[in-house]
Amino acid sequence: MARVIDSVSLFADSIDFLEDSSVNTLVFFALAWRTKRRAQVARLLAALLLIPSLATAWTAWQKFGSQTTPAALPLSFTGAGALAVNLSCALLLARVRHQGGSLMRAAFLSARNDAVANIAIVAAGALTAFQPTPWPDLVVGLGIFLLNLDASREVLKAARREVSHAPAS
């Protein structure tokens, strides 16, 4: 859908969805593991959070060259549908984000970032409807890039804390 609409922000959100699936699958299996092993998985998750950022940066770079305007209404409607799903997930995970250490933190941050990104996508679509320009979409796409970088940093920091506080085994 992102390619049809010609949207950097929807592309960023779409590829982030694939990353979320990987994160949540790893979290599901790793929750039963010992602390040090979970922290190792969290380091992998921090790296996985970077992949959508790199793909988004590349797509944004291409968009800078083409300067095409995304389809405003489909952009907003797609963002609104994704917001409903991601906000529900973020609210469920908010209650347990401090349980399970860095892994639950990764799952929560992923859902929270998706909801924030979806709000921005809806806003970019609305702005584009009033003023047809690629800039709101580009700014949101780059914002998603920064959110993923920050989430990666936070997960890595939480994993380091877990390792330093874990009992020796």
Q: Are 160 and 105 in contact (CB under 8 A)?
A: no
Neighbours of 148 (CB within 10 A): 27
Question: Which residue type, as a one-letter code, is found at position 19?
Answer: E
How many Å separate Cα 109 from the centre of its chain?
8
- What whole-number distance in Å separates Cα of residue 102 and Cα of residue 79? 28
**Minimum mean pLDDT among 6-15, 67-76, 80-89: which range?**
6-15
- What whole-number distance in Å separates Cα of residue 18 and Cα of residue 7? 17
User: Is pLDDT of 44 > 70?
Assistant: yes
User: Is pLDDT of 10 > 70?
Assistant: yes
pLDDT of 167 reads 64
How many Å separate Cα 28 from the centre of its chain?
18
User: Is pLDDT of 73 > 80?
Assistant: yes
Give the residue carrying structure tokens 């780059």: 142
Between 99 and 75, residue with greater pLDDT: 75
User: Is pLDDT of 100 > 70?
Assistant: no
Neighbours of 76 (CB within 10 A): 19
- The H or E element containing residue 161 is helix 135-165
Look up the pTM and report it. Answer: 0.76
Q: Answer positive or negative: Cα dihedral of 72, 136, 144, 85.
A: negative
User: Is pLDDT of 113 > 70?
Assistant: yes
Return the closest-CA partner of residue 118 out of 81, 63, 70.
81
Q: Tens digits of per-residue pLDDT, 129-152? A: 999 999 999 999 888 888 778 877
pLDDT of 133 reads 93
